[in-house]
Amino acid sequence: MALFRDTADVSVRPAAPDDENAITRVQLRAWRLSHAEVLGAEVLETLDAAAVRDSWASAIAAPPTPAHRVLVACDGPRVVGFAATAPADADAPDAAGGPAGRVVEVVALEVDPDHQQGGHGSRLLAACVDLARQDGATAVVTWVLDGDPARERFLAGAGLGPDGATRDLATGTGTVVERRWAAEI
Short-list 120, 140, 118, CA closest to 129: 140
For residue 8, is pLDDT > 70? no
For residue 94, is pLDDT > 50? no
CA atoms within a 13 Å half-sphere pointing along the CA-CB vector of 3 = 1
* Calpha distance 55→59 (Å, rounded): 6
- What pLDDT score was predicted for residue 4? 52
Whole-angstrom CA distances from 37 to 22, 64, 111, 146 are 24, 33, 18, 10
β-bridge partners, 172? none
Tens-digit pLDDT profile for residues 10-66: 899 999 999 999 999 999 888 777 666 666 666 666 677 888 899 999 999 999 999
Tens-digit pLDDT profile for residues 107-119: 999 999 988 888 8
* Calpha distance 118→178 (Å, rounded): 26
* Calpha distance 90→179 (Å, rounded): 17
3-state helix, strand, coil in the chain (%, to 5): 35, 30, 30
- pTM score over 0.95: no
For residue 5, is pLDDT > 50? no
4/133: higher pLDDT: 133
β-bridge partners, 87? 104
For residue 90, is pLDDT > 70? no
Which CATH number applies to 10-138: 3.40.630.30, 1.10.10.10, 3.40.50.720, 3.90.650.10?
3.40.630.30
